[in-house]
Amino acid sequence: MIPVLMVASEAAPLAKVGGLADVVGALSAALRELGHEVAVVMPRYRGIALDGAQRVYGNLDLWFGPACYRVNVYLREERARYLLVDCPELYDRPGIYGPPGRDYEDNHVRYAVLARAAFALARHVFRPRIFHCHDWQASLVPIYLRTILRYEPTFIAARTVLTIHNLGYQGIYPPSALPEMGLNEQAASEAGMEFFGRYNLLKGAISSSDRITVVSPTYAREIQTPELGFGLDDLLRQRSHAITGILNGADYSEWNPETDPYIAAHYSRDDLSGKAACKRDLLDEFGLPAQPERPLIGMVSRLDSQKGFDLLREAAGELIAEDLTLVVLGTGNQEYEGFLRELVAARPDRVGLRIGFDIRLAHKIVAGADIFLMPSRYEPCGLNQLYSLRYGTVPVVRSTGGLEDTVDESTGFKFREYSAWAMMEAVRAALAAWRDRPRWEALMRAGMAKDFSWKISAARYSELFRELAA
C-alpha cells in the first residue's frame, strides 16, 4: 500500500471555508479505507483543539533568510491521520485566509511554512511515496521538490500530484515575496513561476508536478480554454497529457436524509413523507409563512461572482414575481449581500436570507427545499448539487464543470448560456414540473438513486498513485 502525504489548507471537520475541506476530509478517509497509509498536513488554525493530540515534532525552527518560524506538530486521529502544524504567529488568527473578503498579506509565508513543515515530517515522521497537494496553498511542495530539494536523496523516489479545485485562485506575489518563501529568481524560473512580472504559485506547481488532477472531467477540459483558463490555459494545454479529471464524491456519512441529525424528519427514496416536515421546519427557521403549496428554492453558497450571483441579481425581480419562495444562506462579497438584503426588504414574505457560515442550516436547506439553484459562472465540481440529489431536492444548474457532469435531464434542469434569461427559463421549467406531482417524484427518486460516493473517485486516485509509484 502506498504512503500518501496530503498537504492542504482546509479539511473538514477541522477547518472549512468551502468544498476543498469536504474533499480533503472525505478523500483521505476513503483512501485509507482502500488500504493506503494517509496523513494530512495542515495548519493548526485558531479553534482546532489539541485535546488528545500527540506532539510528534517539537520546536522545529524553519528559516527563511533572516526570518525564523518555530513550529510544533501534533498528530490528531480523525477518520484520517491529521498532522497539525502549530505556529501561533502565523495561524492563530480570526480567519483561515484573512478577515472577511480579504487575504492576509503574508499568506505566501503561512503556506511556505506549511510546505517546509511537511518536508520535515516527511524526513522524520512519515515518509510518503506520493505528495498529494491541493490548490495554490500547497503548491510550494512540488516547487521546492523541483528546485531547492532536487538533489535530496530522501525525496528522489517521491512523486507529486497536484489537485486543482479552483483555477480562479493562484497565489500571485511580487518579486519581494520570493526570498520570504526561501526562493530566488533562478529557482522561480526553474519552477516556471514567472507570471507577468510577478510569481505565481499555482503556475509553478502546474509546471513542476508529476501529475495534475482536476475535480471534474468537464472542468479539466474547460481550463484548457482561454475562457476558463485564467491566463494559464496555454501551460495547461502543454501539460494536457499529465492532466486527469476525477469527479469529487459526496460524503454520504454526513449527507444522508435517512440519518442526518440536523433535519426535522428523516426520509428515503421509498418513503418521501418526511421531506414535507423538513420544508415546514425550513420555512419556520427563516420566519417565512408556512405555505407548503408554494415551491421553495434553496441556495447555499459562497457569495462570489463564480457562483452566478450576477445572474441572480439581474433576474431577481422576475424571479420573485413567480409564485415561489427563496431561501439563501451564504457569506462573502458585500455587494451581493446588499442586493440580497434589498430582495428580502422588497418581499419579506417570500425571501429568506441568512448571512454567515452555518453547517446545520446548510443541511436544513438541502433537505427542506424543493429546488436547489446553482447558476454558477464556472464550477470545478460543486458538491451541493450532489448533496441535493441525495435529498430529493431537484437541482437547477448551469451546464458548466462538475454541474454538467453530475446533473442530467432525468435528475434536474440545466441551462447553458450565462444569462438571466436562460436561468429563468430553466427555473420556470422546474416550477412547471413541480406542479406535476408524479413527474416531480420521478425526478426526485432518480436523483436519490444516483451514487456519487467517494468509493469510486477514491479508487481513481488510488490507480493514479499506483501508476506513479510503479
CB-wise, 72 or 166, nearer to ligand ADP? 166
- Choices 8-16, 31-39, 284-292, 380-388 (CB under 6 A): range interacting with ligand GLC: 380-388
**Nearest distance from C-beta of residue 320 to ligand GLC, angstroms:** 27
Which of ligand ADP, ligand GLC, none is residue 330 near (CB under 5 to 8 Å by kind)? ligand ADP
Near ligand GLC in 230-289, by CB under 6 A: 248
Under the criterion CB under 6 A, does residue 27 sit at the interface with ligand ADP?
A: no
Cell of 442: 420521478
Residues 164-183, one symbol each (x = binds ligand GLC by CB under 6 A, - = not), give: -xx-----------------
In this structure, which amino acid lies at residue 341? R
Q: What's the DSSP call for residue 307?
A: G
- Choices 107-115, 150-158, 299-307, 444-452 (CB under 6 A): range interacting with ligand ADP: 299-307
Under the criterion CB under 6 A, does residue 329 sit at the interface with ligand ADP?
A: yes
Backbone torsion region of residue 387, taken as left when φ is above 0, otherwise alpha when ψ lies between -120 and 50, otherwise beta: alpha
Q: How many residues bind ligand ADP (CB under 6 A)?
A: 18
**Nearest distance from C-beta of residue 246 to ligand GLC, angstroms:** 10
CB-wise, 86 or 251, nearer to ligand GLC? 251
Closest C-alpha among 374, 426, 366, 420 to residue 392: 366
List the beta bridge partners of residue 159. 130
In this structure, which amino acid lies at residue 221? R
Q: What angle do CA 151, 153, 154 make, to 5 degrees?
A: 125
Cis amide leading into 13 (omega within 30): yes
CB-wise, 316 or 403, nearer to ligand ADP? 403
Near ligand ADP in 345-374, by CB under 6 A: 357-359, 362
Under the criterion CB under 6 A, does residue 379 sit at the interface with ligand GLC?
A: yes
**Nearest distance from C-beta of residue 399 to ligand GLC, angstroms:** 14
Q: Which of 330, 368, 375, 447 binds ligand ADP (CB under 6 A)?
A: 330
CB-wise, 119 or 461, nearer to ligand ADP? 461
Which of ligand ADP, ligand GLC, none is residue 357 near (CB under 5 to 8 Å by kind)? ligand ADP
> For the chain, first and last CA: distance in Å?
12
- Choices 14-22, 187-195, 265-273, 410-418 (CB under 6 A): range interacting with ligand GLC: 14-22
Q: Which of 10, 22, 86, 210 binds ligand ADP (CB under 6 A)?
A: 22
Distance CA(395)–CA(391), nearest Å, equals 10
Under the criterion CB under 6 A, does residue 302 sit at the interface with ligand ADP?
A: yes
Near ligand GLC in 131-170, by CB under 6 A: 165-166
Strand ranges (E), 315-446: 325-332, 351-355, 371-374, 394-398, 413-415
DSSP letters, 72-91, are EEEEEESSSEEEEEE-HHHH
Closest C-alpha among 449, 447, 441 to residue 273: 441
Contact between 57 and 125 under an 8 Å Cβ cutoff? The reply is yes
Distance CA(73)–CA(54), nearest Å, equals 8
Under the criterion CB under 6 A, does residue 392 sit at the interface with ligand ADP?
A: no
Distance CA(269)–CA(257), nearest Å, equals 9
Contact between 287 and 352 under an 8 Å Cβ cutoff? The reply is yes
**Nearest distance from C-beta of residue 423 to ligand ADP, angstroms:** 18
Instruction: Classify residue 233 as exposed, middle or buried by CB count within 10 Å of its CB (0-12, 13-18, 19+).
Output: middle
CB-wise, 20 or 446, nearer to ligand ADP? 20
Contact between 400 and 222 under an 8 Å Cβ cutoff? The reply is yes
Contact between 403 and 385 under an 8 Å Cβ cutoff? The reply is yes
Contact between 177 and 110 under an 8 Å Cβ cutoff? The reply is no
Closest C-alpha among 75, 86, 66, 70 to residue 40: 75
CA torsion, ordered 264, 266, 268, 274, to nearest 10 deg = -50
Which of ligand ADP, ligand GLC, none is residue 215 near (CB under 5 to 8 Å by kind)? ligand GLC
- Choices 181-189, 253-261, 377-385, 455-463 (CB under 6 A): range interacting with ligand GLC: 377-385
Cβ contacts of 380 within 8 Å, gap of 6 or more: 164, 165, 166, 167, 214, 215, 216, 219, 401, 402
Under the criterion CB under 6 A, does residue 398 sit at the interface with ligand GLC?
A: no
Residues 200-219, one symbol each (x = binds ligand GLC by CB under 6 A, - = not), give: ---------------x----
Under the criterion CB under 6 A, does residue 411 sit at the interface with ligand GLC?
A: no
CB-wise, 87 or 365, nearer to ligand ADP? 365
**Nearest distance from C-beta of residue 389 to ligand ADP, angstroms:** 13
Residues that bind ligand ADP (CB under 6 A): 18-20, 22, 300-302, 329-331, 357-359, 362, 381-384
Residues that bind ligand GLC (CB under 6 A): 18-20, 23, 165-166, 215, 248, 379-383, 402
